[in-house]
Amino acid sequence: MKLKVLRVSLVLAILSLAMCSKREYPYMSDGIITGQDIRMCACCGGWFITIDSTNYLFNSLPTDSGMDLLNETFPVSVKLDWKVTDGACLNNTITILRIRKE
């Protein structure tokens, strides 16, 4: 009897693990990283990205993005989650929360 309970428990555990998967939620926007901001001003620097026909600036990518913008060929199509950066020098500065190269 104990052996039967053990087998059933083992099968249920394996099935529950097999059904677990990392769920990827849809990204909120499509964007195009167009290049580096090389302007020489107090609030300049970072990278340009176009989202829904609006140009934004961002300073960095999440560490787990797997992208190295210094070695990319632009433009780069991406999917991303983002938010407007509070207290930024320029109103069009965003923080990228999650990004994936297309």
CB atoms under 10 Å from CB of 49, counted, come to 25
Q: Tell me the residue length of the chain.
A: 102
Ramachandran quadrant class, 23 (left: phi over 0; alpha: psi -120 to 50; beta: rest): beta
Residue 30 · residue 53 · CB < 8 Å: no
Residue 85 · residue 94 · CB < 8 Å: yes
pLDDT of 69 reads 95
Per domain, the residue ranges of the chain are: 29-101
Residue 28 · residue 80 · CB < 8 Å: yes
pLDDT tens per residue, range 16-42: 666 665 667 899 999 999 999 999 888
pLDDT tens per residue, range 5-21: 667 666 666 666 666 65
Record the pTM.
Answer: 0.76
| Alpha-carbon gap, residue 93 to 25, rounded angstroms | 24
